[in-house]
Amino acid sequence: MAKGYWVSVYPALSDPERLTAYDKLAGPAVQAGGGRVLSRIPSRGGRVVAHEAGITQRVVLIEFDSFEQAVSAYESEAYQKALVALPDGFERDFRIIEGID
């Protein structure tokens, strides 16, 4: 069975501290849904080398055991509460993708 992934990119993130309320709710919701954070860069000390467009945006990569589990975690009541906590004015590109089996 192919794994599922959440990929979040924040094109314009001038004040990462404003995400604190979202992070406090989203972390437990992701864990309850079976998700494992694989990478959260550059805001948490991770290293990045940018090529092509040269943009070093915040990128979060979360792995689930299946695509269906990834979708279910996003649709969960706990994660929907976290989404409400995202501050106004934040731009985010969020995708759920299926891994290659």
The CATH number of whichever domain residue 25 belongs to comes to: 3.30.70.100
Q: What count of other Cβ atoms lies within 10 Å of the Cβ of residue 7?
A: 14
Evaluate if residue 15 carries a pLDDT over 80: no
Residue with tokens 């106004």: 88
Evaluate if residue 79 carries a pLDDT over 90: yes
What type of residue is 61?
Answer: L
pLDDT digits (tens, 9 = 90+) for 22-47: 889 999 999 999 999 998 876 656 77
Q: Which residue has the higher pLDDT, 86 or 61?
A: 61
Quick one: which H or E segment has residue 37?
Answer: strand 36-41
Domain range for 24 is 4-98
The Cα–Cα gap between 25 and 77 comes to 11
* Mean pLDDT score across all residues of the chain: 88
Query: How many structural domains is the chain composed of?
Result: 1
